[in-house]
Amino acid sequence: MYRIFKINELGEQTIKHLYSIKEQIDFFPSYQRFGNIWSLQKKQLLIDTIINKFDIPKFYLNYFIESSNELNVNNSLYAIIDGKQRLQAIFDFLDNKYPLSPNIVFLDDPRIQLGRLKYQDILLHYPHIAPIIENYILDVIFITTDEEDRLEELFLRLNGGVALTNAEKRNAIPSYLNIRIRQIIGEHRFFIDKLKFNNPRYQYNDLLSKLFFIELNKRLVNLGNKELEDFLRLHNQDDQSNNQLIENSIRNLDLLSEVFYDKDILLKSKGLIPVYYQFVKDKINISNPNQIRAFFESFEQAKINNRQLEEPFSLLQEFDRLNQQGVHREKSLVSRYRILEAYFQEFLATGNLNQNISISDIELDDSENFDEF
């Protein structure tokens, strides 16, 4: 296989030209962040900058000069490397998806009132301004490469000052598991229907990588950034062990989908889902999805009631604390699991939730410290 990495500037690229070929641009290569993160105000400021002829930063596109390039998974001529939010904002304005800011001032002629106008309004009422936008020259750098590692490195370096989240950095790691993670979150009903939170900046990818890591270890473990990064780098092959790991995880996601409702209020917190995952996986053999669901609802209501008490039950109070501090540490995950387990045993035996369970009723590792109780 040839290895190539070239950087070229292929002449002046106007907004009008790039818009005309937008269907040939892949906005979702593996290393990219999700789009539509920018606020309306930020998009409006960008168009204001263009209309008033100020400079904006460079754009970087991968240019697939050969169809055999293995990075061209979506069969596009180009793929966005850096500048996705800006390019989407420009295209969305040309598609009349949002108006200009009400406070915009057209510096060439401040008498012209452009505030709240969409692009179609500019074409209709101020056709001499439309070419300013259409003919604005974007500084586009074209990268020609089939080296994924170097492309990922370029993306991370270009975004070094933009405070990428750990989830975004992990998503840029070349890994078979990352490929499957992206596929599963786009197809599985647990991610499509059940979660109460949205997916900005790879929140779903982050969650599934943690569930994979739990599945690999067959227990709750530290879910820190270093552990997950090493995990994704080491498990980067399409092989039997990784595919078995994925198959087992999907089976457990199917179980979770039976327990939880669509847009479930119980799934509003990403930090608790790994505990739910291990709990459902372990308890399904002695219970059923409806009974586990009933228990989760009772436990949630018990926590709500406990917060209103003058002298709250310490174990439920500790569960709340662990849900807010160090949620991805093994100690927090295991402690919450064992608290749930203790209440579940009581729930199975009596059909009720005994809120005042004693600490002595819970088996804890020597490393666990509940002295504050």
Alpha helices by DSSP H, listed for 14-129, are 15-20, 40-51, 84-94, 119-125
Strand (E) or helix (H) holding 334: helix 330-350
In angstroms, the CA 228 to CA 241 distance is 17
The confidence score (pLDDT) of residue 170 equals: 87
As for how many domains the chain has, the answer is: 2
Choosing from 141, 164, 187, the residue where a domain stops is 164
The confidence score (pLDDT) of residue 81 equals: 84
Pairing of strands 140-145, 5-8: antiparallel
Contact 31, 155 (CB under 8 A): yes
Task: Please tell me whether residues 129 and 185 are part of one structural domain.
Answer: no
In angstroms, the CA 162 to CA 176 distance is 26
Query: Which pLDDT tens digits describe the chain residue by residue (373 residues)?
Result: 445 555 555 556 899 999 999 998 988 776 665 545 788 999 999 999 999 999 998 898 888 765 555 555 566 788 888 889 999 999 999 999 999 999 999 999 999 999 999 999 999 999 999 999 999 999 998 887 766 666 666 766 776 555 567 887 788 787 899 989 999 998 999 999 999 988 877 889 999 999 999 999 999 999 999 999 999 999 989 999 999 999 999 999 999 999 999 999 999 989 999 999 999 999 999 999 999 999 999 999 999 998 888 888 888 888 998 988 888 999 999 999 999 999 998 899 888 776 666 555 566 444 444 333 2
pTM: 0.62
Q: Is residue 367 part of a domain?
A: no
The confidence score (pLDDT) of residue 325 equals: 81
Choosing from 114, 133, 164, the residue where a domain stops is 164
Strand (E) or helix (H) holding 140: strand 140-145
Q: Look at the chain and count its residues.
A: 373
Spell out the residues 6+ positions from residue 360 whose beta carbon is closer than 8 angstroms to its own.
Answer: none
Tokens of 340: 């749930």
Q: Is residue 257 part of a domain?
A: yes
Domain that holds residue 337: 171-361
DSSP output for 61-93:
EEE--STT-TT-TT--SEEEEE-HHHHHHHHHH
Q: Is residue 369 part of a domain?
A: no
The confidence score (pLDDT) of residue 349 equals: 86
Choosing from 164, 187, 204, the residue where a domain stops is 164
The confidence score (pLDDT) of residue 110 equals: 92
Question: What is the amino acid identity at position 48?
Answer: D
Q: Is residue 261 part of a domain?
A: yes
Residue corresponding to tokens 């820190």: 224
In angstroms, the CA 192 to CA 189 distance is 5
The confidence score (pLDDT) of residue 350 equals: 84
SS3 37: coil
The confidence score (pLDDT) of residue 257 equals: 97
Contact 157, 195 (CB under 8 A): no
